[in-house]
Amino acid sequence: MKIWYILGILLASALLSSAQENNAGKVIYEQVVKLEIKLEGDAAQFADMLPKERKTNKVLYFNPEESLYENGKTDAPDPMQMQHGGSNVVFRMEEPDNKVYTAITKAKQIEQREFMSRVFLIERKTENQWKLTGKQKMILDFPCQEAVMEKDSSRIVAWFTPVIQSQAGPGSYNGLPGLILAIDADNGKNTITAQSVDFSALPKDALKKPDKGKKVTQEEFDAIVAEKMKEMGVENGGKTGGAHMMIQIKR
Cβ distance 192 to 27 under 8 Å? no
Distance, in Å, from the CA atom of 101 to the CA atom of 62, rounded to the nearest integer, reads 10
| 55 Cβ contact partners less than 8 Å away, ≥ 6 residues apart | 30, 31, 32
Q: Which of 55, 73, 62 has its CA nearest to residue 190? A: 55
Cβ distance 170 to 178 under 8 Å? no
53-62/66-71 β-pairing? antiparallel
* Extended strands (E) in the chain: 25-34, 53-62, 66-71, 80-84, 87-94, 99-103, 108-115, 118-125, 131-139, 142-151, 154-161, 179-185, 190-198, 214-216, 244-250
Instruction: Count Cβ neighbours within 10 Å for each residue of 188-219 and write b for 16 or more, e otherwise.
Output: ebbbbbbeebeeeebeeebbeebeebeebeee
Torsion of the alpha carbons at 220, 222, 227 and 228, rounded to the nearest 10: 110
pLDDT digits (tens, 9 = 90+) for 108-156: 999 999 988 899 999 999 988 999 999 999 999 999 999 999 887 889 9
Q: How high is the mean pLDDT in each 10-residue block of the chain (251 residues)?
A: 43 44 90 74 58 86 96 65 56 79 95 91 91 97 96 90 96 96 92 96 91 92 86 56 50 44
Cβ distance 63 to 200 under 8 Å? no
Mean pLDDT score of the chain: 80
Cβ distance 149 to 129 under 8 Å? yes
pTM: 0.78
Per-residue model confidence (pLDDT) at position 21: 63
Per-residue model confidence (pLDDT) at position 12: 38
Cβ distance 98 to 201 under 8 Å? no
β-partners of residue 29 are: 58, 194
